[in-house]
Amino acid sequence: MPCNVCGADSGKYFLCFKCNKLKEEGKVVKCPDCGQWHYADKPCKCKGDAAQQKAKPAPATEKPATAAMAEGVCIVCGAKAPNGHLCRDCFYEMKDYKDSFDKNSRAFDMKDYYFNLRSNIYRMKTFDFIKSNCNKLMAIAYFLSELYRDSSLMDRVVNDIKEIIDAKKPKEEVKVSEEVKQKDSHKEELRRTCDGHYVKSDPEIIIDDILYENRIVHCYEKKVPIDSDEQTIKCDWFIPVTDSRHGIYIEYWGMHTKDYLQNKARKRQAYKDHDIPLIEIEKDDYRDRQGLTDRIISEINMLAKKYFHITDYLK
């Protein structure tokens, strides 16, 4: 099928991949009269001859389309979004989710994941968690569009997110402690590991399964025992060495949003100030599963010897 706009081959879709991107940017629109797609800065072919096609000047009070886009808001969090549907922070969270997906996933499975996730979001209670999973919906749509040139979800994800946010947005802002938010979010997690832990992402599944498969005793999201007035810190994983209070902590740094990076710096400094044994796993380390497995085992043995004087803790 030729593309409605440029005439290039678009498979079974109305728009080719390039024009679908332009549609997301507001540069390609659908004619309300005939339903055909055309460039936003040019009239639709159904408008008649060149004389009839001449664009009417916009009223003095009407703002050009580019200005309207510049004043746009994020469909997820409501912040300013001058370059699309998402603000800067939501865009980077969406990108982190997209990068975490397995490139070998089948398009059919990803679509199933999308629709199951969309249904589950309506059952979630914590609004911050709802917004984060809306960014994951957008990530799935982009993933399919970029990897398989399948724009079917791109055509609906914006409306789906708007409906979810409108339905789930709190009527009144209620102050809830950070600890309660973390507990609620933990209950609503959707990703389950081999040993039954519920984690936040596919990379965390891989890391947790590495610990389980190598018979490394561990727990997920444990409070770090720091006796001070600082904000509560929870690690991603804790490995008990001598008892349930003394052991090795693991942190997976999986995102690049502004708030996340600030929290990452705060947690790193706390581990350093209190001389707490820490293993750090960066965003893409999980992709080399065997290499990550070898490094985790090596660092556990090294830290067990340094902090607890135990040689060959993992044999």
pLDDT tens digits, 218-272: 999 999 988 655 567 899 999 999 988 899 999 999 988 888 899 999 999 999 9
- pLDDT, residue 138, reads 95
d(CA 14, CA 36): 9
Who's near 245: CB < 8 A, 6+ residues apart?
225
Cross-strand pairs, 9: 2
Burial class (CB in 10 A: 0-12, 13-18, 19+), 191: middle
- Label residue 66 by pLDDT band (50, 70, 90): very low
User: The CATH number of 189-308 is which of 3.30.460.20, 3.40.960.10, 3.40.50.1370, 3.40.50.720?
Assistant: 3.40.960.10
Contact 271, 300 (CB under 8 A): no
Query: Is the pLDDT assigned to residue 274 strictly greater than 60?
Result: yes
Which residue has tokens 């789906």? Answer: 160
- Cα(315)–Cα(313) distance, integer angstroms: 6
Q: Please report, for the chain, the start and end positions of each structural domain, with discontinuous segments joined by +.
A: 1-44, 68-177, 189-308
- pLDDT value, residue 55: 45
pLDDT higher than 80, residue 209: yes
Residue 200 CA to residue 160 CA, distance in Å, equals 22
Q: What is the pTM of this model?
A: 0.49
* Per-residue pLDDT tens digits for 120-136: 899 888 888 899 999 99
Cα separation, 230 vs 293, in Å, equals 33
Write the DSSP symbol of residue 153. T
Angle between helices 157-168 and 127-148 (to 10 degrees): 180
Which residue has better confidence, 56 or 266? 266
